[in-house]
Amino acid sequence: MANVVVVGAQWGDEGKGKIVDWLSERADVIARFQGGHNAGHTLVIGGEVFKLNALPSGVVRGGKLSVIGNGVVLDPWHLVKEIAAIREQGVEITPETLMVAENTPLILPFHGELDRAREAQNSVARIGTTGRGIGPCYEDKVGRRVIRVADLGDNDTLELRVDRALVHHNALRAGLGLDPINRDALLESLRAIAPEILQYAAPVWKAMNEARRAGKRILFEGAQGSLLDADFGTYPYVTSSNVIAGQAATGTGMGPGAIDFVLGIVKAYTTRVGEGPFPTELHDDDGQRLGERGREFGTVTGRKRRCGWFDAVLVRQTCAISGVNGIALTKLDVLDGFETLRICTGYEIDGETYDYLPTAAAVQAKVRPVYEEMPGWQESTAGARSWADLPAEAIKYVRRIEELIQCPVAMLSTSPERDDTILVTDPFED
Ligand code: GDP
Ligand code: IMO
Ligand code: MG
C-alpha cells in the first residue's frame, strides 16, 4: 500500500489543495505535517469554493480521517472558527473524523502581535509574513517555552507553561515597546477554548502507525512550498518550518519508510507572495497577464502575488531535495493565448553558468536567468480532461518541463474544479 506526500515545489500556492482534495478520494487518512493557518488551500467542487487554512483538504470528502500532526503550529481560536465555517458549508467534522496531535504547539495571540510588530519595524526586518504568528510560535517550540495541546488538560501545567513563556515574551515586548501580556486574561481564554480543542486531541503518532499497519492509505498534505523551507528556501525570506517531504515523517511521528511516493506540486509558471529573491519575476505586460488570468491574489492575506516565467532550475533543485517521484503540473490553462512562452533553463552569474541557485545572498542578487523560448498555443486548455484535448504546443511545453526538471508529470490540472484533472500515473499505485 503506498502512502503519498504532497509538497509544493515552488513558493507556495501551486494548487496543493486542489490536488490533495482530488487524491483524497483514494486515501483513508489525510494529514497535515507542518505550517499552520498561514496556508490557504482552495478547493472548487461543483462550483462551490472551500478555503482551508489549518484543516487538511481531505475534510470535505467525509468518511476520511483528517489529522493535524505535531509538526503543525495550531491557533486554537482560528481552528474553532474554521471548523464552524466549514460546517456551515455542510461538511461534518467530529472527533471521529478529526484528530489533533497532543504534542502540537499552540499559536497564542502574542505570537501574532510579535510577528506583526516585527514586520512593522522597518524594511530590513520585513519578510512579508502572513502576520499569523507562525514564526514566533516555532521559535518558542525550539526555545522550549511553547504551550502544547496536551497542556490544556491540566490547570497547574497550563499556569507553569504560561509563566515560562511570559518570562521571555514580556522582556522581548518591553524592547519592542509593547505592553506586557495580561497573564490572567490569557489563562482565562485558554481555559475557555481548552474543551473545544481537547475533544480532538489524540496520540497521532500511534494512530498513524496503526493505520499504516492496517494497510490504510495515508496522504500527507504539505503547506507552503520548498523555496520557503527554513533550510533550503531563499533564507531569510522563508517560513519557519521545514516544508519538504522528509518533514512528513517527523511532523506526524512516523519513520521515513512510511513514505512511498512524493508528489511535487508545480505551477506551469512561477509566483511568490512576500519579500525575497525571484529570478524570473516579470514587471511587464506578461507578468500582469499571468496575474490576471491566474487570479494571483493570496488566499490568506489577499496580497497580489508576484508572477514570472517557469523556472526549471529551481524546480529541478526542489524536486531533488524532496525526492519527488512525479509532479502534478497545475494552471496550464493560464498560459492559453500567449504567443511565446519562456522557460528559465539556467542562471548566468558574473559570466558563469549555473544549473542551481547558490546559497549566498550576494551571489543570488546577481542571478540573470537564461531563457529558452517555446511557441505558445491559442486554443483553450481550460477544463481539459485528457491528453487528447491538449494542443500539440501545450504537450511540448509539458514534455520540455519534464526533461528540464528530470521528473515525470504524474498529474495535470487544467482548472480550479476538482474534476478538471488529468491522471497520468496514480501515485498510490506507482
Ligand atoms: P495551494 O496553497 O497550493 O493550495 O494553492 P492556492 O489555493 O493558494 O492557490 C491556487 C489557486 O489556483 C486556487 O485559487 C485554485 O482554485 C486555483 N487552481 C488550482 N489548479 C488550477 C488550475 O489548474 N487552473 C486554474 N486556472 N486554477 C487553478
Ligand atoms: P500555501 O500553503 C505562499 C510566505 C509569506 C512570507 C513567508 C513567511 O497556501 O502554499 P509566514 O507567515 O509563514 O511566517 O510567512 O512565507 N507564505 C506563503 N506563501 N503560500 C503559502 O502557503 C505561504 N505561507 C507562507 O508570504 O513570504
Ligand atoms: Mg495557498
137 plus 56 within the same structural domain: no
Render pLDDT for 259-297 as a digit per residue (tens, 0 to 9). 999 999 999 999 999 999 999 999 999 999 999 999 999
Position 429 in a domain: no
Tell me the residues surrounding ligand 3 (ion) with CB < 5 Å: 13, 40, 299
Same domain? For 73 and 116 the reply is no
What is the model's pLDDT at position 1?
Answer: 61
Cα–ligand 3 centroid distance for 373 (angstroms): 29
Kindly give the distance from the C-alpha atom of residue 348 to the centroid of ligand 1, in angstroms, as a whole number: 31
Which residue lies with its CA nearest to atom 6 of ligand 2?
Answer: 129
16 lines ligand 1 (CB under 6 A): yes
List of residues 6+ apart from 148 with CB closer than 8 A: 102, 103, 104, 105, 106, 161
Tell me, yes or no, whether 328 and 402 share the same domain. yes
CA 390-391-395 angle, 5° bins: 75
Q: Is 10 in the pocket of ligand 1 (CB under 6 A)?
A: no
Whether 216 and 428 have beta carbons less than 8 Å apart is answered as no
Q: Is the CB of 129 under 6 A from ligand 1?
A: no
Contacts (Cβ under 8 Å, ≥6 apart) of 185: none
Residue 283 bears catalytic tag: no
Distance, CA of 191 to CA of 66 (rounded, Å): 25
Within-domain flag for 399: yes
| Residue 235 reports pLDDT greater than 80 | yes
Residues 406 and 309 in one domain: yes
CATH number of the domain bearing residue 169: 1.10.300.10
366 annotated active-site:
no
- Tell whether 238 and 221 lie within a shared domain: yes
What gap in Å lies between CA 281 and CA 119, rounded to an integer?
A: 23
What pLDDT is recorded for position 228? 98
Boundary (domain end) residue, out of 156, 177, 197? 197
Decide: 70 and 60 in contact? Cβ < 8 Å: no
141, 71: one domain: no
Tell me whether residue 430 is in a domain: no
Q: For residue 38, give the ligand 2 atom closest to its CA.
A: 24
Q: Which residues are annotated as a binding site?
A: 12-18, 38-42, 130, 144, 224, 239, 299-305, 331-333, 413-415
In 3D space, the residue among 424, 341, 337, 326 whose CA is nearest the CA of residue 382 turns out to be: 337
Same domain, 280 and 249: no
Q: Model confidence over 5-41: pLDDT tens digits? A: 999 999 999 999 999 999 999 999 999 999 999 999 9
Going by C-alpha positions, the residue among 185, 217, 154 that lies closest to residue 27 is 217
Cβ 416 under 6 angstroms from ligand 1: yes
Instruction: Specify the pTM.
Output: 0.97
Count structural domains, the chain.
3
Looking at the DSSP assignment, which residues form a beta bridge with residue 50?
43
The residue to which cell 481537547 is assigned: 198
The answer as to whether 29 is a domain residue is: yes
Q: Whose CA is nearest to atom 28 of ligand 1?
A: 416
Under DSSP, the state recorded for 421 is E
CA of 243 to the centre of ligand 2 (A): 11
Q: What cell was used for 96? A: 471521529
* Pair (242, 340) in one structural domain: no
**Looking at residues 191-200, what average pLDDT do you find?**
98
| CATH number of the domain encompassing residue 241 | 3.40.440.10
Ligand 1 atom nearest the C-alpha of 295 is 14
What does the pLDDT look like over 371-427, one tens digit per residue?
Answer: 999 999 999 999 999 999 999 999 999 999 999 999 999 999 999 999 999 999 999
**Amino acid in the structure at residue 47:** G
Q: C-alpha angle 418/274/289, rounded to 5°?
A: 60
Q: What residues does 325 pair with on adjacent strands?
A: none
CATH number for the domain harbouring residue 417: 3.90.170.10
pLDDT digits 0-9 by tens, 60-89: 998 999 999 999 999 999 999 999 999 999
Name the closest-CA residue to atom 15, ligand 2.
Answer: 129
Domain assignment present for residue 390? The answer is yes
**Amino acid of residue 99:** M
* Ligand 2 binding site (Cβ under 6 Å of any ligand atom): 8, 11-13, 38-41, 127-130, 132, 134-135, 223-225, 228, 239-240, 273-274, 299
Q: 428 lies in a domain?
A: no
Secondary structure string (H, E, C) spanning 269-302: CEEECCCCCCCCECCCHHHHHHHHHCCCECCCCC
20 belongs to a structural domain = yes
Catalytic residue among 13, 75, 229, 311: 13
What integer is the mean pLDDT of 127-156?
98
Average model confidence (pLDDT) for the chain?
A: 97
> Are 413 and 280 in the same domain?
yes
Q: Is residue 64 flagged as an active site residue? A: no
Q: Is 46 helix (H, G, I), strand (E, B) or coil?
A: coil
Nearest to 146 by CA among 155, 156, 136, 154: 136
**What is the predicted pLDDT for the residue at 125?**
84
The rounded distance, in Å, linking the Cα atoms of 114 and 159 is 21
For residue 430, what pLDDT is reported? 81
357 located within any domain:
yes
Same domain, 309 and 405: yes
Q: Alpha helix locations (H) across 64-202?
A: 76-88, 109-121, 134-142, 155-176, 183-198
Cα end-to-end distance, the chain, whole Å? 10
Domain region containing 133: 109-197
317 shares its domain with 240: no
- What's the 301 CA to ligand 2 centre distance in angstroms? 10
Residue 330 Cβ inside 6 Å of ligand 1? The answer reads yes
End of a domain among 154, 170, 197?
A: 197
318 and 411 in a single domain? The answer is yes
Candidates 53, 289, 293, 330: which one to mutate for ligand 1, based on the most atoms within 8 Å of Cβ? Answer: 330
Return the H-helix or E-strand segment holding 415: none
Q: Which of 197, 216, 245 is the C-terminal boundary of a domain?
A: 197
Q: Residues near 430 by Cβ (< 8 Å), separated by ≥ 6?
A: 2, 260, 261, 325, 326, 410
